[in-house]
Chain A
Amino acid sequence: DQQVKQNSPSLSVQEGRISILNCDYTNSMFDYFLWYKKYPAEGPTFLISISSIKDKNEDGRFTVFLNKSAKHLSLHIVPSQPGDSAVYFCAASEGGSEKLVFGKGTKLTVNP
């Protein structure tokens, strides 16, 4: 039973354009959501997070949107850069727990 789903295994965009990565969840008790970026042979790097009391959080080129009614969140990267090419993981946790439930990841390729 996959509680966090990233339905697109891969995404390819042109440099300078917007990258939109999507994530769906089934557990309505999740109240904290995070995005991580992972390069090969490295651990996941924290990008941005959002609490369920918000619907948007922005940090530089990265914006996360949360739609609680649809149980959907997305990560927008604008503008996309070749260095953004990596696997992106969506993760969620529920009330007071450090346990993160991860999606399977989306491989983003930004072409110069």
Chain B
Amino acid sequence: KAGVTQTPRYLIKTRGQQVTLSCSPISGHRSVSWYQQTPGQGLQFLFEYFSETQRNKGNFPGRFSGRQFSNSRSEMNVSTLELGDSALYLCASSLEAGGGSPQHFGDGTRLSIL
């Protein structure tokens, strides 16, 4: 069974640019969540999508946005990139929304801002 697939694996951008990251969940999983991992802050929740609707949002500025498509695939977008946005961005999927079932993670997109 294929796992969570994130593309691209690595990305280099400059300040002020915008970026779109993609996530394909495990087949049959309908909930997709995004996390940011940095050495200082650890793993932090960005947002969660279920049935194309954002159900939950973490404490990040509006420059961070996302969406989910009817096939459960998800994208996240970061606009006006800042140096501090350099991080590993992880996508996770679970069978249903509502908690109580484990989230399974992809290998992430490593974003570097120059």
Contact = CB atoms under 8 A, between A and B. Distances in A.
Interface of A: 31-32, 34, 36, 41-46, 49, 51, 89, 91, 93-105
Q: Would you call the interface of chain B mostly helix, strand, loop, or mixed?
A: strand
Nearest to B106: A43
Interface residues of B, number: 28
A44 B108 CA distance: 9
Contacts of B98: 96-98
B75 interface: no
Contacts of B107: 41-43
B106 A98 contact: no
A98 B105 contact: no
Interface string B47-72: 01010000110100000000000000
Given A46-B102, A46-B103, A49-B102, A99 B42 contact: no
Contacts of B56: 97-99
A43 B48 contact: no
Interface string B7-50: 00000000000000000000000010101000000111100101
Nearest to B46: A99
12 contacts: A31-B99, A36-B105, A43-B4, A91-B43, A93-B99, A97-B98, A98-B56, A98-B98, A98-B99, A99-B56, A100-B33, A100-B35
